[in-house]
């Protein structure tokens, strides 16, 4: 019997389903006439609305879109997308207050010359230094000024400074659907899955739908969101809660209109800490997207709503806040114990979800789809080996997300609520993170801390959070002969960085200005 | 700043235009926009490359005159050291503006009153004592007309080059005799390898549109690069 994997069924539309379809279809030519035909079919429920997971992407999205064959101009125009250069954190360290500037940035650009030089110890040695991120990259000043990461003459997907996107997830799914079905040969069935049919060996043989009959396949990809229809409901793969570490379990989302037509558009995510969570604020060309993500154990819904509305009033005026009713999205922070089981793999919220801090939802979909596309098992025989590796890898990714997000809370000195105090209790901190923090008191994270080549968060990101939040690394004094020379080189890099920042500030257009030009003229391909 | 006005017999009756060439007359430019129907004249003197309009990102063809901003290696002692001067420089300070609205857009001759060539007392007159256009002005108008049609033809040319992926980026890394190095970026040239792979029907369509000859002229023009490097080497900086 031919056990070749030639028919892939994706259950669920939304960004997860269509992004996965796009990445796989771009890698494997769909051709039913070929000697070994390959088919990709996506079943989308006409009745289940999609939750817009993650309206922020990482820079990796540029390569993903390019791989799928979408033009950046079409993407920006169709998805109401804007350019994102990182995250600006407010009130995370002390909670701000009168005249206290509690803010720092996590830019997408790694520190200058990061491959060869670790600037952190030299920055720590400076007295009267600018903030860490400001000293080591020119990018923070650019997004502080609402500037774009490139010019209209920069080819599509290329950059002057590294960037990802803010986007409308619903429109994104729509564009991907159109591209997948029209250009990449993905078949699209609108139907509800009513039953999952097991084969003798325990695999999924087919799914029964309400208006398209039974649909059989060799590999089933579960993109059914929190329903987790295949992996969770059918295979009963247990869910592992991470709430003991990351408390947030509810989001209140609200769209905020711009007060003026040509108002500047943020080119980074703003994240403002509250008493029991934080508020996200992203700028799309047509509106802002805001939301309060919090721990329901630490604050009531009414109070959380009041904090969100107060934030909107403060940043957009009373008129914008009047009559706004935020949409409530409860969620369970955590993930499945296993993501690929037998001939079924879950991608997106069906595999897990953790609060949107650091916007890891879409990048996890990109990584999952990428790994499946690249390592698609040729036969059922070897599928279990690929599945095992996939599970190990994604468990590592989830662990790292949990640890990296927790870092933001552990480093806070806020004492104004039980939420912040509970976040620092030893029992709530993963062991690996405590160990890292112990080491980093004596030396800064750098290449030696890179666990694997496919680390989700690079060590530079740890530097930005640690030193942005005032973490202190005090080196043991080993008198190096090269000490003075290195410090001189570092000073030179700091100086070069400041000069580059000035130069870029003059050369780059405003985020809105560039977006308008993309709408009018588009980017060139080269 | 520029101050554009539609040319008007009454209003501009006494204006004069300074002729000749020089940095003070606005000729110190690193490149000059050109268009396919001018390529035959351009390629005999200058390399033809392509670059982007900083305002729109759109491509246009350019005759390269120097290696850094404001450097024109063909300007010498108030003269132009080449047998042909690009039309976009010859036509200064005049330009074509499109008047009217919607479908009635018609080209009208305009000029930039702030251009250094515009003078009250020096240079060529635009109108004679009876208020008729002078021979000088008529020549400029004829030139503008040619330029206007050439630039319109150029749009289809550029679109076609992009459609067939016939442009590729080049960085000019040049070491001059005096030891200085220049890395000139932002320029594109004809992708020769892809050009030579074009098949019969594509070649025929290019030829019919009048695009094939200028493509090869742009390729051939790169031999002029040696000349401008030599000019740069002779400069005493």
Q: B-chain residues within 8 Å CB-CB of A506?
A: none
Residue A435 in any domain: the answer is no
Q: A-chain residues within 8 Å CB-CB of B161?
A: none
B159 touching A (Cβ < 8 Å): no
Q: Tell me whether residues B57 and A526 touch, CB distance under 8 A.
A: no
Q: B-chain residues within 8 Å CB-CB of A524?
A: 52, 57-59, 162
Residue A479 in any domain: the answer is no
Residue in chain A lying closest to B55 (CA): A152
B59 touching A (Cβ < 8 Å): yes
Residue A485 in any domain: the answer is no
Of residues B39 and B237, the one with the higher pLDDT is: B39
Q: B-chain residues within 8 Å CB-CB of A160?
A: none
The stretch B151-162 carries a mean pLDDT of: 95
Residue A193 in any domain: the answer is yes
Q: List pLDDT tens digits, range B61-104.
A: 999 999 999 999 999 888 999 999 999 999 999 998 876 555 55
The stretch B169-186 carries a mean pLDDT of: 90
Residue in chain B lying closest to A507 (CA): B54
Listed by start position, the domains of chain B span 4-231
A151 touching B (Cβ < 8 Å): yes
Q: Tell me whether residues A524 and B169 touch, CB distance under 8 A.
A: no
A130-135 LR contacts (CB < 8 Å, sep 24+): A131/A104, A131/A105, A131/A468, A132/A104, A132/A463, A132/A464, A132/A467, A132/A468, A133/A104, A133/A105, A133/A106, A133/A107, A133/A464, A133/A467, A133/A468, A134/A105, A135/A494, A135/A497
φ, ψ for residue B43, nearest 5 deg: -65, -15
Q: Tell me whether residues A526 and B58 touch, CB distance under 8 A.
A: no
Would you state the pLDDT for residue A476? Answer: 67
Q: Tell me whether residues A153 and B54 touch, CB distance under 8 A.
A: yes
Residue in chain A lying closest to B57 (CA): A153
Q: B-chain residues within 8 Å CB-CB of A514?
A: none
In the three-class reduction of DSSP (H, G, I as helix; E, B as strand; rest coil), residue A181 is classed as helix
Instruction: Say how far apart CA B187 and CA B12 lie, in whole Å.
Output: 39
Q: A-chain residues within 8 Å CB-CB of B167?
A: 526
Q: A-chain residues within 8 Å CB-CB of B188?
A: 526
Give me the number of domains chain A comprises: 1
Instruction: Say how far apart CA A232 and CA A226 lie, in whole Å.
Output: 9
Q: Which residue has the tokens 């000069």?
A: A499
Residue A67 in any domain: the answer is yes
Secondary structure of chain B: what % helix, strand, coil (to 5)? 35, 25, 40
Picking from A401, A409, A169, A177, the residue whose alpha carbon sits closest to that of residue A289 is A169
Q: Tell me whether residues A153 and B59 touch, CB distance under 8 A.
A: no
Instruction: Say how far apart CA A253 and CA A168 lie, in whole Å.
Output: 13
Residue A302 in any domain: the answer is no
Instruction: Say how far apart CA B18 and CA B122 lie, in whole Å.
Output: 6
Q: B-chain residues within 8 Å CB-CB of A153?
A: 52-54, 57, 186
Q: Tell me whether residues A524 and B162 touch, CB distance under 8 A.
A: yes
Residue A172 in any domain: the answer is yes
Instruction: Say how far apart CA B189 and CA A262 lie, in whole Å.
Output: 37
Instruction: Say how far apart CA A492 and CA A116 lie, in whole Å.
Output: 14
ipTM of the complex: 0.86
B211, HSE (Cβ side, Cα atoms, 13 Å): 22
Q: Tell me whether residues B56 and A521 touch, CB distance under 8 A.
A: yes
B155 touching A (Cβ < 8 Å): no
Instruction: Kindly report the nearest CA distance between residue A426 and chain B, in angstroms.
Output: 55
Q: B-chain residues within 8 Å CB-CB of A154?
A: 57
Would you state the pLDDT for residue A341? Answer: 98
Domain range for A38: 7-79+168-243+333-398
B99 touching A (Cβ < 8 Å): no
Ordered mean pLDDT values, 10 residues apiece, chain A (526 residues): 85 95 91 78 88 79 97 97 97 82 95 92 87 96 97 97 96 96 96 96 97 96 96 98 98 92 95 98 94 98 97 92 92 97 97 95 96 93 96 96 97 96 97 95 90 82 96 76 82 93 96 98 96
Q: B-chain residues within 8 Å CB-CB of A522?
A: 57
Picking from A187, A178, A184, the residue whose alpha carbon sits closest to that of residue A217 is A187
Of residues B131 and B98, the one with the higher pLDDT is: B131
Would you state the pLDDT for residue A1? Answer: 47
Instruction: Kindly report the nearest CA distance between residue B187 and chain A, in angstroms.
Output: 11
CB within 8 Å of chain B, chain A residues 504-523: 517, 520-523
Would you state the pLDDT for residue A99? Answer: 64
Beta partners for residue A353, in sequence order = A334
Q: Tell me whether residues B58 and A151 touch, CB distance under 8 A.
A: no
| Ramachandran area for residue A464 (φ above 0: left; ψ -120 to 50: alpha; else beta) | alpha
Q: Are strands A340-341 and A344-346 parallel, antiparallel or unpaired?
A: antiparallel
B188 touching A (Cβ < 8 Å): yes
Instruction: Kindly report the nearest CA distance between residue A35 and chain B, in angstroms.
Output: 29
Instruction: Kindly report the nearest CA distance between residue B230 and chain A, in angstroms.
Output: 30
Cis, peptide link before residue B93, omega less than 30° from 0: yes
Instruction: Say how far apart CA A360 and CA A348 lie, in whole Å.
Output: 10
Q: A-chain residues within 8 Å CB-CB of B56?
A: 152, 517, 520-521
Q: Residue B237: pLDDT band by 50, 70, 90 thresholds?
A: low
A526 touching B (Cβ < 8 Å): yes
Q: Tell me whether residues A517 and B188 touch, CB distance under 8 A.
A: no
The stretch B49-63 carries a mean pLDDT of: 97
Q: Which of A72, A524, A525 to mutate to test the interface with B (most CBs of B within 10 A)?
A: A524
Instruction: Say how far apart CA A21 and CA A173 lie, in whole Å.
Output: 11
CATH of residue A30's domain is 3.50.50.60
Would you state the pLDDT for residue A125? Answer: 87
Q: Tell me whether residues A153 and B168 touch, CB distance under 8 A.
A: no
| Cα A245-A246-A250 angle, rounded to 5 deg | 145
CB pairs A-B closer than 8 Å: 30
Would you state the pLDDT for residue A453? Answer: 63
Of residues B121 and A450, the one with the higher pLDDT is: B121
Q: Which of B53, B55, B57 to mutate to test the interface with A (most CBs of A within 10 A)?
A: B57
Residue A517 in any domain: the answer is no
């Amino acid at each position: 019997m031919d056990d070749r994997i030639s028919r892939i069924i994706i259950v669920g539309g939304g960004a997860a389903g269509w992004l996965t379809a796009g990445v796989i279809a771009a890698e494997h030519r769909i051709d039913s006439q070929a000697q070994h035909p390959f088919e990709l079919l996506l079943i989308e429920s006409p009745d289940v609305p999609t939750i817009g997971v993650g309206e922020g992407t990482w820079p990796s999205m540029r390569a993903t879109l390019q791989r799928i064959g979408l033009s950046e101009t079409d993407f920006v125009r169709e998805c109401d997308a804007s350019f994102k250069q990182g995250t600006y954190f407010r009130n995370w360290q002390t909670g701000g207050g009168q005249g206290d500037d509690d803010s720092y940035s996590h830019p997408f650009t790694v520190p200058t010359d990061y491959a060869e030089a670790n600037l952190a110890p030299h920055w720590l040695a400076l007295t009267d230094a600018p903030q860490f991120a400001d000293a080591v990259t020119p990018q923070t000043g650019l997004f502080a000024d609402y500037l774009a990461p490139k010019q209209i003459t920069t080819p599509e997907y290329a950059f002057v400074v590294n960037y990802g996107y803010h986007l409308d997830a619903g429109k994104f799914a729509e564009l991907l659907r159109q591209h997948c079905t029209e250009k990449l040969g993905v078949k699209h069935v609108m139907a509800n899955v009513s039953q999952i049919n097991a084969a003798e060996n325990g695999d999924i043989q087919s799914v029964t739908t309400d208006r398209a009959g039974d649909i059989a396949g060799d590999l089933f990809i579960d993109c059914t969101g929190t329903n987790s229809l295949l992996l969770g409901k059918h295979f009963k793969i247990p869910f592992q809660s991470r709430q003991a570490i990351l408390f947030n379990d509810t989001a209140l989302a609200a769209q905020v209109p711009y007060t003026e037509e040509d108002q500047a558009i943020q080119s980074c995510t703003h994240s403002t800490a509250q008493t029991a969570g934080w508020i996200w604020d992203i700028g799309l060309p047509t509106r802002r997207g805001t939301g309060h993500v919090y721990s329901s154990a630490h604050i009531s819904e009414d109070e959380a709503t009041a904090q969100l509305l107060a934030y909107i009033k403060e940043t957009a005026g009373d008129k914008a806040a009047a009559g706004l009713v935020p949409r409530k999205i409860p969620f369970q922070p955590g993930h499945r114990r296993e993501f690929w089981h037998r001939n079924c793999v879950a991608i997106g919220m069906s595999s897990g979800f953790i609060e949107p801090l650091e916007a890891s939802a879409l990048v996890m979909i990109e990584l999952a789809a990428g790994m499946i596309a690249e390592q698609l098992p040729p036969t059922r025989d070897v599928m279990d080996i690929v599945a095992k590796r996939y599970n190990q890898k994604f468990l590592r990714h989830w662990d790292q997300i949990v640890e990296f997000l927790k870092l933001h809370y552990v480093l806070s000195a806020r004492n104004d609520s039980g939420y912040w105090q509970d976040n620092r209790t030893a029992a709530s901190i993963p062991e690996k993170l405590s160990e890292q923090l112990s080491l980093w008191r004596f030396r800064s994270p750098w290449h030696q801390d890179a666990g694997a080549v496919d680390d989700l968060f690079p060590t530079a990101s740890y530097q930005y959070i640690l030193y942005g939040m005032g973490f202190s690394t005090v080196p043991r004094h080993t008198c190096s002969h090269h000490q003075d020379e290195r410090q001189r080189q570092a000073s030179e890099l700091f100086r070069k960085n400041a000069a580059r920042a000035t130069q870029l500030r003059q050369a780059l257009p405003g985020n809105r200005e560039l977006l308008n030009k993309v709408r009018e003229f588009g980017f060139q391909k080269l | 700043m520029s101050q554009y006005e539609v040319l008007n017999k009454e209003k501009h009756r006494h204006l004069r235009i300074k002729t000749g060439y020089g940095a003070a007359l606005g000729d110190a430019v690193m490149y000059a926009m050109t268009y396919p129907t001018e390529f035959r004249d351009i390629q005999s003197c200058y390399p033809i490359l392509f670059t982007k309009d900083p305002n729109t990102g759109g491509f246009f063809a350019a005759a390269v005159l120097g290696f850094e901003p404001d450097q024109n290696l063909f300007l010498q002692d108030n003269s132009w050291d080449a047998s042909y001067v690009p039309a976009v420089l010859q036509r200064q300070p005049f330009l074509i503006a499109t008047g009217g609205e919607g479908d009635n857009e018609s080209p009208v001759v305009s000029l930039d009153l702030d251009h250094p060539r515009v003078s009250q007392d020096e240079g060529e007159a635009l109108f004679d004592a009876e208020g008729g256009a002078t021979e000088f002005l008529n020549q400029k108008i004829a030139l503008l007309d040619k330029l206007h049609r050439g630039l319109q033809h150029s749009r289809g040319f550029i679109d076609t080059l992009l459609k067939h992926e016939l442009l590729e980026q080049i960085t000019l890394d040049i070491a001059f005799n005096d030891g200085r190095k220049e890395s000139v970026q932002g320029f594109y040239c004809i992708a020769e390898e892809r050009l030579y792979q074009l098949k019969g029907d594509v070649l025929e369509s290019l030829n019919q549109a009048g695009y094939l000859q200028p493509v090869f002229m742009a390729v051939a023009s790169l031999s002029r690069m040696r000349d401008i490097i030599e000019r740069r080497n002779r400069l005493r900086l």
